[in-house]
Amino acid sequence: MSKSQLRSIVTDIIKSIAPDEDLSSLDPEKPLRAQIDLDSMDFLDIVMELRVRYNIDVPEADYPQLNSLASTVNYLMPRMQGV
């Protein structure tokens, strides 16, 4: 799976959780919470969607690695191989 495909997967999950947010101008390097209105429950919903849709379990200790779109993609790359 390419980074582009994975970026699309993550943005689709965010869209499903925060449908009113405009994700077209997201800076992949900036923290997601600084760019769009995501609260802690929304973040947990993103983690849950990764588990439900792709069987990816993100331990709580790894949550900081999902700070930005780019860091989320980098975190998920090795975990999504073969999915």
In order of start, what are the domains of the chain with their CATH numbers?
A: 3-19+31-76 (1.10.1200)
What is the reported pLDDT for 4? 93
Interacting residues of 77 by C-beta distance below 8 A, sequence separation 6+ = 1, 3, 6
How far is the C-alpha of 46 from the C-alpha of 49, rounded, in Å?
5
What pTM did the predictor assign?
Answer: 0.89
pLDDT, tens digit (0-9, with 9 covering 90-100), for 24-57: 999 999 999 999 988 999 999 999 999 999 999 9
Interacting residues of 61 by C-beta distance below 8 A, sequence separation 6+ = none
What is the reported pLDDT for 41? 94
What are 44's strand-pairing partners?
none
pLDDT at 83 over 70: no
Average pLDDT, the chain: 93
Please tell me what DSSP assigns to residue 8. H
Looking at residues 48-76, what average pLDDT do you find? 96
What is the reported pLDDT for 81? 82
